[in-house]
Amino acid sequence: MEPGPPGGGRPHEPGPFLSGPRGADLAAPASSLSVVAAVLPAGGCGERMGVPTPKQFCPILERPLISYTLQALERVCWIKDIVVAVTGENIEAMKSIIQKYQHKRISVVEAGMTRHRSIFNGLKALAEEQPNLQLSKPEVVIIHDAVRPFVEEDVLLKVVTAAKEHGCSDYDLEFGTECLQLALKYCHTKAKLVEGSPDLWKVTYKRDLYAAESIIKERISQVICIVMDTKENKEHVGHLLEEVLKSELNHVKITPGTLCHAGKGLQQIILEQCYNFVCVNVMSSDFQETQKLLSLLEESNLSILYPVVVVSVHFFDFKLVPLSQKMENLMWIREFAKEVKKRNILLYGLLICYSQDEQKLQESLRQGTIIIAALIKERNSGLVGQLLVA
């Protein structure tokens, strides 16, 4: 997986599918607070995980856990600066992660011997005049574990609002963690402990990594864009597939996309962070639609954060062309898949048996839908380039 070309940024607009509930009041702190910052202590060694890599660097869909946490914080536009504290030996790796996944507003400082020392170092960087880091002195600092990737904007807002209203109360100092005392004592910066929701759970054991991976896979599988060439008289079977997808995958949103008019419709869908594409090629031996879609996806850099699934669908009538010949014609998918896999795009081929018999056709389309659902759910890079038959 390569980072995008220099200068080409990934889509930054938070999509409707990956963000949490957004109330009208969520824009509030931007106006009522001058500066909010976040400090992420990430100097731990992950003893309980049972794996040699510290847990914050363990990969989920090949991307380190900490990158998901950074993503959750950076999409909150009113958090001005995010400071990550990692051990000296991990500073370069952390900088590479920030570059590769194009994270913004992140500074890296060296972690201390303890969690509290790390937080202290982060706060110090925010409090001191450090011309090379260009950080603003914050009014409120959110201390957030690097291994809690599922934090939502509304919880962060509650934290900030509570901090602003109550300041650093005696209650917090007594029952909160010592982090709060540290913040007040050394940095004269307000901090408060706020209860989190179950979603805020901390990745601690190996089983939590499994759970996190499944949650992430589920979240990015909620929308499928079905792309069709709209040449007249040929579109019929594609629309039938769309109907079967809608009825069989009823928890998933099926969005039609078009490559016509220079692909404007699709660009909007990509901006809204849809990570699943079913590309219907109706013309015999035609794969221009899939080629166009892949080019568009490569340009968009959508796949920087998550692997994008593309299923290239082809219909065949075994009364007209033998299956083997059709398969032979589609072997280009293997080579294409190898190429785009380097860009984190997972390309699979799907041959659906076309029949004049309504019932047989419906059965093939249902079988095709099961295969599409399986490919999107698992997002397995080991099976890219395969030609599946329904």
Residues that bind its own copies (CB under 8 A): 48, 198, 201, 205, 207-208, 210-215, 322-325, 327-328, 331, 334, 370-371, 373-374, 377-378, 380, 382-383, 386-389
Q: How far is the CB of 226 from its own copies (least distance, A)?
A: 18
How many angstroms separate the first and last alpha carbons of the chain?
30
Task: Tell which residue, 110, 97, 15, has the closest CA to residue 59.
Answer: 97
Q: What CA–CA distance (Å, rounded) separates 119 from 122?
A: 5
Instruction: Please say which residue, 216 or 274, places its beta carbon nearer to its own copies.
Output: 216
Q: How far is the CB of 323 from its own copies (least distance, A)?
A: 7
Q: What CA–CA distance (Å, rounded) separates 198 from 246?
A: 31
Angstrom distances, CA of residue 327 to CA of 229, 263, 283, 353: 21, 28, 15, 12
Half-sphere exposure of 363 (CA within 13 A, CB side): 6
Q: Quick one: tokens of 278?
A: 């079913």
Q: How far is the CB of 228 from its own copies (least distance, A)?
A: 23
158 burial level (CB within 10 Å; 0-12, 13-18, 19+): middle
Instruction: Please say which residue, 240 or 327, places its beta carbon nearer to its own copies.
Output: 327
At residue 161, φ and ψ (nearest 5 deg) are -65, -45
CB 228 within 8 A of CB 258: yes
Rounded to the nearest 10°, the torsion over CA 299, 372, 249, 319 is: 120
326 Cβ contact partners less than 8 Å away, ≥ 6 residues apart: 314, 316, 351
Q: How far is the CB of 354 from its own copies (least distance, A)?
A: 17
Q: How far is the CB of 208 from its own copies (least distance, A)?
A: 7
Instruction: Please say which residue, 86 or 254, places its beta carbon nearer to its own copies.
Output: 254
CB 118 within 8 A of CB 43: yes
DSSP letters, 281-325, are: E-STT--HHHHHHHHHHHHHTGGGTSPEEEEEEEEE-TTTS-HHH
Instruction: Please say which residue, 184 or 389, places its beta carbon nearer to its own copies.
Output: 389
Task: Tell which residue, 386, 220, 190, has the closest CA to residue 305.
Answer: 220
Instruction: Please say which residue, 27 or 370, places its beta carbon nearer to its own copies.
Output: 370
Q: What CA–CA distance (Å, rounded) separates 357 from 6?
A: 52
Instruction: Please say which residue, 183 or 384, places its beta carbon nearer to its own copies.
Output: 384
Q: How far is the CB of 199 from its own copies (least distance, A)?
A: 9
Instruction: Please say which residue, 234 or 341, places its beta carbon nearer to its own copies.
Output: 341
The owner of tokens 């999409």 is: 75
Q: How far is the CB of 207 from its own copies (least distance, A)?
A: 4
Instruction: Please say which residue, 5 or 382, places its beta carbon nearer to its own copies.
Output: 382
**245 has which bridge partners?**
none
Q: How far is the CB of 84 from its own copies (least distance, A)?
A: 25
Instruction: Please say which residue, 9 or 59, places its beta carbon nearer to its own copies.
Output: 59
Q: How far is the CB of 302 from its own copies (least distance, A)?
A: 23
